[in-house]
Amino acid sequence: MASSLAFLASSTLMLLLLILNNNVIDSQAQLSPSFYDRTCPNALSTIQAAVKSAVSRERRMAASLLRLHFHDCFVQGCDASLLLNNGPSITSEKSAFQNAGSLRGYEVIDAIKSRVEKVCPGVVSCADILAVVARDATVAAGGPSWTVKLGRRDSTTASRALAEANIPRATATLDDLLKSFRDHGFNARELVILSGAHTIGQATCGVFRARLYNNGTNIDPGFRATRRRNCPINGGDGNLAPLDLVTPNSFDNNYFINLVNKKGLLPTDQALFNGGSTDAIVTGYSRNNGAFRSDFAAAMVKMGDIRPLVGSAGQIRRICSAPN
């Protein structure tokens, strides 16, 4: 009798595991590059044209649009929860410490969504738009392209608390960064690769001031003096500086060269090359731009797979800032 019960328990457990595994496989299988081929064949070209236009108006926008996808996927998965405004049952992730006054480009996403809705109403999700925009913004900055898997649906909820818990802060240590990325399925190399997105874009003085005035030794003296000119010890919190001082608008491996030379702007940047376990990875990419480009593309595909809503989960929002 006991052996029969044990067999039944074991069989039940195996069946449950099989069901769960199949659900994961089915969920991922529903993401496909051809998802809109029949329902909205002009979706990708519409998004691409809008991104090109936005970046041509302001080069910095490429980095801003790319960053939105990062900050969305690290909270609840790639579900466009980041784009939701405050509501009766929603505390917007836009107000999280890591996002408020820092993230930008929401109006570009809204405009793109409006264009896509005119082409095919109620078909393309805001989550998919974020994923495609990240790719097109990277290309617009001279970076690599990749095939975006599609079919994500939009969340009806957001969580400021999860955003503040899951998105690394500019003061995070290497151990903090490794844990944060590991919690989302990324290894140390992928942490370094994805941090390479900081090869484009700018940061505000209030975010990197401490690095300039903490008397640390992991910063080039000339670089510190240059950055202090536009970031005084008091005031000027909104003053901007490029994350990559050499080619701030071009997607290349100069970001890693800067780190090797102790010229990383943010504390989290320089943490990747500061006598720790990721030093050798940074050195490798500082010497091989081709490897960085191809590995970045692969890592972005992987990021787009973080817990997507598929099938009947979530919804296709009519506007990206509010649930239907």
208 Cβ contact list (under 8 Å, min separation 6): 170, 227, 231, 241, 265, 266, 267
Buried b (16+ CB within 10 A) or exposed e, 38-64: eebeebbebbbebbeebbeeeebbbbb
Closest CA to 96 of 32, 168, 25, 35: 168
* 164 annotated ligand-binding residue: no
184 is catalytic: no
* 155 annotated ligand-binding residue: no
* Separation CA 271–CA 174 (nearest Å): 5
* 183 annotated ligand-binding residue: no
CB-based contact 239:283 (threshold 8 Å): no
* 154 annotated ligand-binding residue: no
* 110 annotated ligand-binding residue: no
Active-site residue (options: 67, 71, 160, 317): 71
* 72 annotated ligand-binding residue: yes
* 41 annotated ligand-binding residue: no
* 252 annotated ligand-binding residue: yes
* Separation CA 274–CA 233 (nearest Å): 24
Closest CA to 312 of 119, 37, 30: 30
* 305 annotated ligand-binding residue: no
* 138 annotated ligand-binding residue: no
Q: In 3-state terms, what secondary structure has residue 43?
A: helix
* 247 annotated ligand-binding residue: yes
Closest CA to 134 of 299, 320, 10, 300: 300
Side-chain half-sphere CA neighbours of 298 within 13 A: 12
* 199 annotated ligand-binding residue: yes
Q: Which residues pair with 204 in a beta bridge?
A: 240
Q: Is 221 exposed, middle or buried (0-12, 13-18, 19+ CB in 10 A)?
A: exposed
Q: Residues within the annotated binding site for Ca(2+)?
A: 72, 75, 77, 79, 81, 93, 199, 244, 247, 252
Q: Residues within the annotated binding site for substrate?
A: 168
Q: Residues within the annotated binding site for heme b?
A: 198
Q: Residues within the annotated binding site?
A: 72, 75, 77, 79, 81, 93, 168, 198-199, 244, 247, 252
List, by residue number, the catalytic residues.
Answer: 71
